[in-house]
Amino acid sequence: MSGNRCVLITGGAQRIGAEIARTLHRSGWTVLISYRESVSQALALCANLNAERADSCAIFQADLNDPVSRDALLPSVIDRTGRLDGLVNNASSFYPTPIGAATDAQWDDLFNSNARAPFFLSQAAAPHLRATRGAIVNIVDIYAERALPNYPVYCMAKAALAMMTLSLARELGPEVRVNGVAPGNILWSTNMVKAETLAIVEERTTLKRQGSPQDIAEMVAFLLERANYVSGEIIAVDGGRRGFI
């Protein structure tokens, strides 16, 4: 592939992950996208990006909950690119686990996707990122700090990812910067617990509007490309939501 900066984006085939891929691609990055089941979306996105700039995108199927599949991802990427300059841990599972109904399988799934896989991918990526003085960006959540009713396991897993961000910034510095982005209301939800309506978004944010995937993607790009003296930070992109109950 091209000798440009290379970034791996997990869960990069759709939604916020795809917007991150498109944004970094426009900045000249070679984009490596991992996906689990979204094969048609991954193929279409990769074809579009390669049509814009030849040999600038590749896709990799990986089940990050499976240690064998997960551990094969970084070697496959390096075999293809020969280098790694950025890692965006974006892939995530999200669903309710109300007390009294939560299961071990749900615990394992939510902690695997939101904490264990990002940790072991970061560990595998560390030598390559040290060589390029690269960076890691973790997609956290404002609910790593506040409890979302009926979602205790998800909130706990994202809290683990937040602490991982701080810990790896210390462990991997000074060569590798590690930061996080905590989205607020970005994509409309039918989740009745979150009760997202335009009126509630206006009531609970200082900017009085919903955000967009582009807002998250631009912050990721900033942290990868320009925040050369920023590490160990988790930046809320939430329209000022954190100051409200």
What pLDDT, on a 0 to 100 scale, did the predictor assign at position 194? 53
Q: Residue 196's CB: how many other CB atoms inside 10 A?
A: 17
- In order of start, what are the domains of the chain with their CATH numbers? 6-180+214-229 (3.40.50.720)
pLDDT tier, 3 (very low <50, low <70, confident <90, very high otherwise): low
What pLDDT, on a 0 to 100 scale, did the predictor assign at position 54? 96
Beta strands 177-183; 6-10: pairing state: unpaired
What pLDDT, on a 0 to 100 scale, did the predictor assign at position 241? 77
Q: Pick from 245, 190, 189, 239: which is nearest to 216 by CA?
A: 239
pLDDT, tens digit (0-9, with 9 covering 90-100), for 113-149:
999 999 999 999 999 999 999 999 999 999 999 899 9
> pTM, whole model, 2 decimals?
0.94
What pLDDT, on a 0 to 100 scale, did the predictor assign at position 1? 65
Give me the count of residues in the chain. Answer: 245
pLDDT tier, 196 (very low <50, low <70, confident <90, very high otherwise): low
3-state secondary structure of 170: helix
The residue written with tokens 């991802």 in the block is 73
Q: How far apart are CA 188 and CA 221, in angstroms?
A: 23
What pLDDT, on a 0 to 100 scale, did the predictor assign at position 201? 77
**Residue 230 DSSP symbol:** -
What pLDDT, on a 0 to 100 scale, did the predictor assign at position 69? 97
What pLDDT, on a 0 to 100 scale, did the predictor assign at position 243? 63
pLDDT, tens digit (0-9, with 9 covering 90-100), for 128-137:
999 999 999 9
Amino acid of residue 6: C
> Which of the residues 35, 143, 151, 154 is marked catalytic?
154
| 154 annotated active-site | yes
Instruction: Tell me the average pLDDT of the chain.
Output: 93
pLDDT, tens digit (0-9, with 9 covering 90-100), for 35-45:
999 999 999 99
Residue 158 has pLDDT above 90, yes or no: yes
Least confident residue range of 81-85, 174-178, 186-190: 186-190
Task: Report yes or no: 26 and 100 within 8 Å, Cβ to Cβ.
Answer: no
What pLDDT, on a 0 to 100 scale, did the predictor assign at position 188? 62
Strands (E), the chain: 6-10, 30-35, 57-61, 86-89, 135-139, 177-183, 234-237
What pLDDT, on a 0 to 100 scale, did the predictor assign at position 199? 78
CA-based torsion, 157, 231, 89, 222: positive or negative: positive
Q: How far apart are CA 190 and CA 238, in angstroms?
A: 18
Give the distance, in angstroms, between the CA of residue 43 and the centroid of all CA atoms in the same chain. Answer: 20
What pLDDT, on a 0 to 100 scale, did the predictor assign at position 240? 82
Least confident residue range of 89-103, 172-186, 229-243: 229-243
